[in-house]
Amino acid sequence: MRPIKRLFINYKIKIETKIKVYNIITRTNQHYYLYHQMASIASSLFIGYARSTCTTEQVKEVFNNIMEEDIVTSVDECVKKDPKGYEFKIFFVHFARNNHRLEQMVARISKEGFVPIVYNTEFDKKLGQRVERYWKVLPFTPKPIKITGVRIMTEEEAAEISRPKHLDAPIVEDVVIEFESNV
């Protein structure tokens, strides 16, 4: 008996959105499989508290140094106020792709809840000694966007909306156009 040869065709499609990056891998044989997985669990990370003096450039530089390559695509910042009225910043760090260091960081975050990253060592006047300034890095999971009530109105609903008065007024008043025929 002759062995049966199986033919596998693999397709890899990359779809990028603001919210997630997906890799959709399909494998076809006699059965059809669809494998849907997030390309990178850590395509974005989150710093929940940073001093107001921290900048997006600083965050990008620190993460690129830690990852040992230039893979940070962008850093978003948001300025907040604590209950006492002091300003602080939060950062969203977005990566172009995964690498070994990023995968290690994500694994540690999933195990411990966060990863502290020391970004500066400086002398603290209050304590009278050198201290390490650090960020607690957390996974960024965007909140799902719920769109409710978005639809096209029916013709009946649209007819009930009052038409703006300036559209009911004639554009040109008292104009008479006459045509003459020479036949």
Q: What is the residue-wise DSSP string for 119-177? A: EEEEEETTTTEEEEEEEEEEE--PPPPP--S--PPPHHHHHHSPPPHHHHS-SS-S---
> Which residues touch 172 (CB under 8 Å, ≥6 apart)?
none
Q: What pLDDT, on a 0 to 100 scale, did the predictor assign at position 154?
A: 86
Q: How much is the pLDDT for 150?
A: 79
Distance CA 20, CA 62 (A): 23
d(CA 116, CA 137): 6
Instruction: Report pLDDT for 156.
Output: 85
**Which class for 48: exposed (0-12), middle (13-18), buried (19 or more C-beta within 10 A)?**
middle
Residues 6+ apart with CB under 8 A from 52: 79, 86, 87, 88, 89
Distance CA 70, CA 63 (A): 9
Q: What is the pLDDT of residue 43?
A: 77
How many whole angstroms separate alpha carbon 180 and alpha carbon 174?
A: 19
List the single range of 30-39, 73-82, 83-92, 164-173 with lowest mean pLDDT. 30-39
Phi-psi region of 52 (alpha: psi -120 to 50; beta: other; left: phi over 0): alpha
- Burial class of residue 47 (count of CB atoms within 10 Å of its CB; 0-12, 13-18, 19+): buried
Burial class (CB in 10 A: 0-12, 13-18, 19+), 121: exposed
**Per-residue model confidence (pLDDT) at position 55:** 95
Helix (H, G, I), strand (E, B) or coil at 94: strand
Give the CA diameter of the chain. Answer: 108
For 132-177, the pLDDT digits (tens) are 999 999 998 777 777 777 788 888 888 888 766 666 666 655 556 6
Amino acid at 5: K
